[in-house]
């Protein structure tokens, strides 16, 4: 079982319900969802940030250690041709 913690499971179920609602709404509007792509992204602090995490990332020359601002997913729907993004 992926999530044994009931709170984490409830959060995941809530997120999936919202995603399903958005996709159904898009389909109702007539969008073709056959070319749907979901990509994970992470938005970090700017390179000019001077917080402790970013200074450590500069010292270690490892941008992956930079402070995380946002973590989420982006939804792309192609326009029918290969490689097309909105």
65 within a domain of the structure (yes/no): no
Task: Find, among 41, 37, 34, 86, the residue nearest to 68 by Cα.
Answer: 41
36 within a domain of the structure (yes/no): no
Mean pLDDT of 45-59: 88
* pLDDT at position 70 over 90: no
Mean pLDDT of 6-28: 88
The residue segments making up the domain with residue 13 are: 1-31
| Total of domains in the chain | 1
pLDDT in tens, 26-49: 889 988 888 888 888 878 888 888
74 within a domain of the structure (yes/no): no
* pLDDT at position 55 over 80: yes
Mean pLDDT of 64-77: 80
């Amino acid at each position: 079982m992926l999530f044994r913690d009931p709170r984490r499971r409830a959060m995941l179920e809530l997120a999936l319900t919202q995603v399903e609602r958005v996709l159904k709404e898009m389909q109702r509007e007539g969008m073709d969802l056959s070319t749907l792509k979901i990509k994970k992204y992470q938005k970090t602090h700017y390179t000019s940030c001077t917080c402790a995490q970013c200074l450590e990332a500069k010292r270690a020359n490892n941008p992956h250690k930079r402070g995380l601002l946002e973590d989420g997913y982006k939804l792309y729907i192609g326009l029918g041709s290969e490689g097309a993004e909105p």
